Amino acid sequence: MPPEPKIVCPSASLSLQGLRLPNGLRVDSLTARASDVALWTEPFRSDLRGGGQAEASVLLSDVAAMLNAAAPSGLREFRLSGSAEGIAVEAVRSGVLSVRVRALVALEVRGGTDLAARLLSAKVFGANLGRWLESTLERMNPLFSVKDLPLPLRLERADVEPDRVVLRLTMPPASYPP
């Protein structure tokens, strides 16, 4: 029979700021709340008996910084803005001539773990270069994965706001470490 927990609390919360993910994306904030939490000290273990919820905020300026550092397909000078339609992306493609690329992308949750960008439309000097941008996006996806976070989370949805994406997550009842 396992030992009794050292600490039992009806609710607990954790708040992290400025989390840097392996792909270079900065998560501005991550706040998690759980209920019925039990903690052991030797060795450390926690049980999230009641599960919980979490919310993460990713600034679009931080997404642009990640994209500028990666320079996918030679694109640079990224600017992003959110709206009800999706995320408007502007960038410059360098070559013999520099051309401005404009695209509209939607965010979609894949399998409860990954957040991916899906191309809705793209224009370069009025030409439709959708296939080229689709392949660029597929190489960049996923933009965010719960597998990179130190909590047992499931990604439920992503809400696009003018300057950020707010991720809504759930935590199933679980032990940590597993």
Tell whether 155 and 115 lie within a shared domain.
no
Domains held by the chain: number = 2
Q: What is the pLDDT of residue 162?
A: 98
Question: How many other CB atoms are there within 10 angstroms of residue 82's CB atom?
Answer: 19
Name which of 63, 155, 55 is nearest 105 in CA terms.
63
Distance, CA of 78 to CA of 100 (rounded, Å) = 10
Tell whether 25 and 74 lie within a shared domain.
no
Tell whether 135 and 83 lie within a shared domain.
yes
Nearest-Å Rg of the Cα atoms of the chain is: 20
107 lies in some domain: yes
Q: What is the pLDDT of residue 136?
A: 86
Q: What is the mean pLDDT of each run of 10 residues along the chain (178 residues)?
A: 81 95 95 93 87 97 96 93 96 83 95 96 72 85 92 94 98 83
Q: What is the pLDDT of residue 127?
A: 60
- Asked if residues 64 and 92 have their Cβ atoms less than 8 Å apart, the reply is no
Tell whether 42 and 83 lie within a shared domain.
no
Distance, CA of 25 to CA of 144 (rounded, Å) = 8
Distance, CA of 124 to CA of 66 (rounded, Å) = 22
Q: What is the pLDDT of residue 128?
A: 60
**Which residues span the domain enclosing 111?**
60-146
Tokens representing residue 70 in the block: 């990666």
Q: Is 150 helix (H, G, I), strand (E, B) or coil?
A: coil
Measured CA angle at 30 (ends 157, 156), to 5 deg: 15
